[in-house]
């Protein structure tokens, strides 16, 4: 079991994990946030939210300046505040939107690019100001699917042919460059982090968190609301914990499980 006296790193998803799925509050996690600060354990956000959303949130969480993973792994900000797009720093948001626009004649879907701030606010429960931050995307698009299941499979193939990948968050589908993802981004960030190797604990609730939860030493699968289960490829069951609670209560439960058990 990991313990607070060894070099640790916590990697966390936001919506439905550290943040409540509906209210975006994190009250149940505050005690652990204080403890992690006391022990100087880095807390790395790994979310499908944008950098524009994550930076003010880091400030409110007291972790400003920490590296983070945004847009499902298509964007990474390093310890020295360099922001890069993965996998190869080339595919911009505009380029992704252009490729998606070419598929709009064949399939029915709507992206954050096409919605207004009030529309995104109404779908998500974010304020209009926060919805605006969620629409400041650098390297991935969020979409609402409006076509049939059959068309969805063909759409997925068409995306692959365009060099794009698809993943599912708690609320939305996300289109990003092929080869990017939360797991790839975490591996990249760990490889580019200075200092000693750290034992990693990851927490997430959605199918898009699975690659991140496969890439950490200890995985907390937080009870989510998505109908799609979180399926991990790893088989080391002793290093995986499934919570009974949703959101920040589950987040607290997961850290309690791995960090407060007698050694």
Ligand X SMILES: O=C(O)[C@@H](COP(=O)(O)O)O[C@H]1O[C@H](CO)[C@@H](O)[C@H](O)[C@H]1O
Is 110 a binding residue for ligand X by CB under 6 A? The answer is no
Contact of 189 with 69, CB cutoff 8 Å: yes
50, 77, 180, 200: which one binds ligand X (CB under 6 A): 50
Neighbours of 194 (CB within 10 A): 7
Using CB under 6 A, which of the segments 35-43, 56-64, 81-89, 164-172 binds ligand X?
A: 164-172
Q: Torsion angle of alpha carbons 123, 128, 129, 134, nearest 10°?
A: 20
* CB environment 152-167: b (16+ within 10 A), e (fewer): eeebeebbeebebbbb
Using CB under 6 A, which of the segments 57-65, 156-164, 168-176, 241-249 binds ligand X?
A: 168-176
Using CB under 6 A, which of the segments 48-56, 94-102, 233-241, 242-250 binds ligand X?
A: 48-56
8, 14, 29, 255: which one binds ligand X (CB under 6 A): 14
Is 15 a binding residue for ligand X by CB under 6 A? The answer is yes
Is 35 a binding residue for ligand X by CB under 6 A? The answer is no
Shortest Å distance, C-beta 197 to ligand X: 26
Q: Which is nearer to ligand X, 134 or 180 (CB)?
A: 134
Whether 117 is catalytic is no
Number of residue whose CB is nearest ligand X: 169
Is 254 a binding residue for ligand X by CB under 6 A? The answer is no
Of the candidates 211, 213, 206, the residue with the CA atom closest to the CA atom of residue 239: 213
For ligand X, what does the binding mask look like between residues 113 and 132, x meaning CB under 6 A? -----------x-x------
Pairing between β-strand 75-77 and β-strand 83-85 as defined by DSSP bridges: antiparallel
Is 134 a binding residue for ligand X by CB under 6 A? The answer is yes
By the 10 Å C-beta count (0-12 exposed, 13-18 middle, 19+ buried), 225 is classed as middle
Of the candidates 45, 82, 39, the residue with the CA atom closest to the CA atom of residue 63: 45
Neighbours of 28 (CB within 10 A): 17
The residues binding ligand X (CB under 6 A) are 13-16, 47-50, 53, 124, 126, 134, 142, 169-172, 206, 208
Instruction: Kindly list the catalytic residues.
Output: 13
């Amino acid at each position: 079991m990991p313990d607070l006296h060894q070099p640790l790193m916590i990697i966390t998803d936001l919506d439905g994990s550290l943040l409540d799925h509906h209210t975006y509050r994190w009250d149940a996690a505050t005690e652990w946030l204080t403890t992690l600060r006391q022990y100087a354990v880095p807390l790395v956000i790994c979310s499908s939210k944008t950098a524009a959303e994550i930076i003010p949130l880091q400030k409110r969480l007291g972790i400003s300046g920490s590296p983070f993973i945004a847009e499902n792994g298509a964007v990474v900000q390093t310890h020295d505040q360099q922001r890069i797009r993965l996998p190869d720093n080339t595919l911009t948001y505009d380029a992704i939107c252009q490729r998606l626009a070419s598929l709009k004649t064949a399939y029915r879907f709507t992206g954050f690019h096409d919605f207004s701030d009030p529309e995104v606010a109404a779908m998500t429960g974010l304020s209009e100001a926060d919805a605006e931050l969620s629409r400041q995307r650098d390297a991935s698009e969020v979409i609402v699917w409006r076509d049939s299941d059959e068309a969805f499979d063909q759409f997925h193939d068409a995306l692959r042919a365009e060099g794009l990948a698809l993943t599912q968050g708690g609320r939305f589908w996300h289109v990003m460059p092929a080869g990017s993802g939360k797991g790839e981004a975490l591996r990249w960030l760990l490889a580019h982090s200075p200092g000693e190797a750290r034992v990693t604990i990851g927490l997430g609730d959605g199918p898009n968190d699975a690659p991140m939860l496969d890439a950490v030493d200890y995985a907390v699968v937080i009870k989510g609301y998505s109908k799609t289960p979180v399926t991990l490829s790893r088989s080391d069951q002793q290093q995986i914990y499934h919570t009974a609670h949703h959101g920040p209560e589950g987040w607290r439960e997961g850290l309690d499980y791995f960090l407060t058990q007698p050694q």
